[in-house]
């Protein structure tokens, strides 16, 4: 009589472990919303508190020009975040379409530069969206489309990072790293001036768990608990953004995508100079993209036809 009950309990235990990951890992669409919400909440709250809380306290006795420069830096970083986030989120820029492929093949035929090109007949159709898939393109289930030179899906922009928006993503991660580092410096400077530390023990207030305990016991105000959480979020965001920035720069130098790195694919390594590799991603005036996003790319770079080192060596 105990056997059926034993099986039932075992099944309940299995069901618990099978649903555990679903609870901890949200659905992709929900993850997109959470990522975008996290980005904007952190950005807006950091800008607001920097302009109206931290800098007004820190600029006491500060020269007027320096005060204006510190506030202008906040607005500059925020403007770069807004513009580059908007360009990153335009996932249609890297969508694979038949018309785009036909235009690329026609341009390759007119070029007559001796380099072989991939005709549309040789591109296998995608099982999901039924469009021809050019080299280095992959289908994204979250975006429901094939993406040119797909690198990865970014939940903070709710879009795939690929051929047309990789440069904007790199600039975005750069300014996220700069902005969160700047925000962390303002937060720590504000905390040091308004809440002096008489011993090393007081530095534990920067840890959210410690700050929560001190707030719960009445030893710390709610405002400083928020300050601790904001500092932790800035430090965490800086680590993620700086890590992604370095990773994407390494991918440019290696002429790979994240997928190609995981599969150890080096087919499209042309062994060209570092400057040429950056110009193929950012355009001819690549350094200016860190001040003003530019849509230009070198001639012949369309995200569909890719040259290899063997082809360049044979010419």
Q: What is the DSSP-derived secondary structure letter of residue 124?
A: P
Mean pLDDT estimate for the chain: 84
- Are 176 and 241 spatial neighbours (Cβ–Cβ below 8 Å)? yes
pLDDT above 70 coverage of the chain, percent? 83
- Are 93 and 165 spatial neighbours (Cβ–Cβ below 8 Å)? yes
Token couple for 127: 């099982």
pLDDT above 90 coverage of the chain, percent? 43
Q: How confident is the model at residue 21 (pLDDT cuts 50, 70, 90)?
A: low
Q: Which residue has the tokens 């952190």?
A: 42
What pLDDT does 3 receive? 47
Residue 283 has pLDDT above 60, yes or no: yes
| Cα gap 118→165, rounded to integer Å | 23
Residue 65 has pLDDT above 70, yes or no: yes
Q: What is the CB-side half-sphere exposure of residue 137 using CA atoms within 13 A?
A: 27
Q: What is the DSSP-derived secondary structure letter of residue 86?
A: H
What pLDDT does 35 receive? 92
What pLDDT does 109 receive? 67
Residue 26 has pLDDT above 80, yes or no: no
pLDDT tens digit sequence for 143-191: 989 999 999 999 999 999 999 999 999 999 999 999 999 999 999 888 8
Q: How confident is the model at residue 196 (pLDDT cuts 50, 70, 90)?
A: low
Neighbours of 18 (CB within 10 A): 9
Residue 83 has pLDDT above 90, yes or no: yes
pLDDT tens digit sequence for 129-147: 889 999 999 999 889 899 9
Backbone angles phi, psi at 138, to 5 degrees: -145, 155
């Amino acid at each position: 009589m105990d056997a059926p009950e034993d099986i039932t309990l075992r099944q309940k235990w299995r069901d618990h472990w099978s649903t555990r990951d679903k609870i901890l890992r949200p659905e992709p669409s929900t993850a997109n919303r959470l990522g975008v919400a996290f980005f904007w909440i952190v950005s807006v709250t950091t800008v607001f508190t920097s302009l109206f809380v931290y800098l007004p306290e820190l600029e006491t006795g500060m020269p007027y020009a320096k005060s204006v420069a510190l506030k202008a830096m906040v607005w500059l970083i925020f403007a770069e975040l807004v513009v580059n986030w908007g360009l990153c989120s335009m996932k249609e820029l890297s969508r694979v379409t038949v018309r785009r492929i036909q235009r690329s093949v026609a341009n390759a035929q007119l070029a007559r530069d001796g380099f072989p090109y991939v005709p549309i007949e040789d591109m296998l159709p995608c099982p999901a969206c039924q469009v021809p898939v050019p080299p280095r393109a992959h289908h994204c289930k979250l975006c429901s489309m094939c993406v040119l030179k797909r690198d990865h899906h970014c939940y903070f922009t709710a879009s795939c990072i690929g051929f047309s928006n990789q440069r904007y993503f790199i600039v975005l991660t750069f300014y996220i790293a700069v902005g969160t580092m700047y925000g962390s410096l303002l937060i720590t400077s504000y905390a040091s001036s308004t809440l002096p530390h008489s011993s090393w023990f007081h530095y534990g207030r920067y840890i959210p768990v410690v700050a929560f305990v001190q707030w719960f016991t009445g030893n710390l105000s709610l405002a400083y608990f928020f300050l601790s959480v904001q500092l932790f979020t800035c430090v965490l965001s800086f680590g993620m953004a700086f890590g992604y920035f370095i990773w994407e720069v390494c991918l440019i130098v290696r002429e790979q995508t994240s997928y190609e790195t995981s599969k150890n694919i080096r087919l499209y390594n042309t062994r060209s100079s570092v400057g040429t590799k950056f110009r193929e991603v950012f355009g001819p005036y690549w350094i200016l993209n860190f001040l003003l996003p530019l849509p230009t790319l070198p001639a012949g770079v369309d995200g569909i036809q890719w040259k290899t080192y063997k082809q360049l060596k044979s010419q």
